[in-house]
Each structure stands twice: as C-alpha cells, then as structure tokens.
Amino acid sequence: MVKIGLCQMKVLSCSKKSNIEKAKSMIVQATDKGADIVVLPEMFNCPYDIKNFREYAEAEYCYGDTLKMLSSVSREKKILLIGGSIPELDQKGNVYNTSFVFNKDGNLIGKHRKMHLFDIDIKNKITFKESKVLTPGNKITIIDTKWGKIGIAICYDIRFPELIRLMALNGAKILFIPAAFNMTTGPAHWELLFRSRAVDNQIYIAGISPARDINYSYVAYGHSLVVNPWGTITDILDEKEGILISELDLDYINDVRESLPIIKNRRKDIYDLTLLH
C-alpha cells in the first residue's frame, strides 16, 4: 500500500514567489494527511501561457527558487515529491516543460520533459501552440522507488497510448500525470483518457490539475483524479483548490492482470511496438 497526495492548487498570476509558497504549503498539508508521495500540477509556478514560460524558467544545473523549495521540503517532510512541472531552461537556451522528482533526502532522482507539445487549434474554441516557445523531450521517464516503478508523463502525453504502454511494459505500476486540460478538452476527454489508459495497461494512473480560475486567460478544468487498474475512478476532486489523498493497493494490479490477462495475451508475433512509426 502507498498513500499519494495530489495538490490541486490555484496558480496565481501575481508572482512566482507566491506560487512557490502556496505549493510548499499544500505539500506540507498533504504530508500531514499521511501522503508518502506528493504531486503538484502542471506549470505550478507559472501561469499557463507561452509568454510566461521563458521568464519563469529555472535550470537544473543552477537551482532557482522553485527547485530549492522542492528539494528542501522533500527532505524536511521525508517524502517522494513529484514537482508537477515548471519551465526548465537548459544551457543551450532551450525551454522545456519539465517535471522534477525528489526523494526523501531532497535529492533529484529523475525528471520528465514533456514529449508531446500541446499544439492545437479547435475551431471556435481554443488555439494553443506550446512549440512556439518549448522544445519537446525525447525520453520515457520511469523511476525506481521503494514501492516499485513509477512513470511520469505530462498532460498531452497521455493522448499517446504507445508511450503509456511502453511505460507499463517496462514495469511502471503507477503513472503520475501533471496536466492542465482546459474547458474544451477537459469535459470531453479528461476522465475518458485516464480511464482508457488505466484499463488498457492495468495500472494506477493519477492526473493532477491546477484548480480552475475563470478570471485567467487559460482556464483549467480541475478534477484531479485517481483511476485503478480496473478503470474505475476511485477518487476525484471538483474544480476548486484542494488536496486529494488516495491509498493505492499495488497488489490489486496482479489480481486484475490474473483475472483479465491483457498484457499476457498480447500477440507479439503479429504486432511489435518497436515497428510503429
């Protein structure tokens, strides 16, 4: 068993410092509620707008205020901390949408750079082009923990079943996906996508959204959730700011896979994921 805490925080437009302080407060609250693993939402230190990404970016090779806080609070509270995502600046000047992961000693043990950039144009609804500012990552992120392997992906990544299947085949038992679906894609696809990926791969998947702020240019859907290996939503928030605490029975993965052996029954003699283009 492992207890996870999802922090659905309202990202403030006033200052980066205020967002960092709010994130730390919610991490502490989740830990005090017994969470072993705490997760923040996508772009938690930065209003979700491409014009902000470079300004708010921090570098792994030279910790800024956000990464210093994540390292410090994970060490202080002795938790595994998945820092949602923030804009990351590399030494070549590229900006990524990156999730940094810290262990209970405050050490950085992994990171995921969003692989699939959110470039959409839904007629009469929403247009958003992350690729105008961001560079895509190119690595699948799986991290070993005391509870087993976990996978990290970010938002739009969940729409690509090949990625999620490869993570499951490589042993990930839980996927954590910081995400900021909007009021067009959220009502239509949020629950559908998380349930589909969970039931297809018979794993736990958690989606961590910012809280909704109707006064901002990009309005997040909210509804952070946990889906079990049977595809059932076991815990879900509404659109408001809050902390979701959920206890996961990892043995249930084996129970589901034994009763409905999807992974075992794959026809690898006919199809091969490595051949997909």
pLDDT, one tens digit per residue, over 70-94 is 999 999 999 999 999 999 999 999 9
The question of whether 268 is a catalytic residue gets the answer no
| Percentage of residues in the chain having pLDDT higher than 70 | 97
Residue 274 — very low, low, confident or very high, per pLDDT cuts 50/70/90?
Answer: low
**161-208: pLDDT as tens digits:** 999 999 999 999 999 999 999 999 999 999 999 999 999 999 999 999
| Residue corresponding to tokens 């082009």 | 129
Place of tokens 């949602």: 84
Catalytic option among 10, 22, 46, 155: 155
The answer to whether the CB of 174 falls within 8 A of the CB of 3 is: no
Average pLDDT over the chain, rounded to whole? Answer: 94
Active-site residue, from 42, 88, 239, 241: 42
Annotated catalytic residue: which of 16, 22, 111, 114?
A: 114
Q: Assign 242 to helix, strand or coil.
A: strand
pLDDT for 41: 98
pTM: 0.94
CB count within 10 Å of CB 79 equals 21
* Angle, CA 154 vertex, CA 196 and CA 176 arms, to 5°: 65
The rounded distance, in Å, linking the Cα atoms of 242 and 254 is 31
Domains annotated on the chain, with CATH: 2-275 (3.60.110.10)
Mark whether 247 is an active-site residue. no
Q: Is 114 a catalytic residue?
A: yes
User: 53-67, 99-113, 224-238: lowest mean pLDDT where?
Assistant: 53-67
Q: Which two tokens stand for residue 70?
A: 């994540």
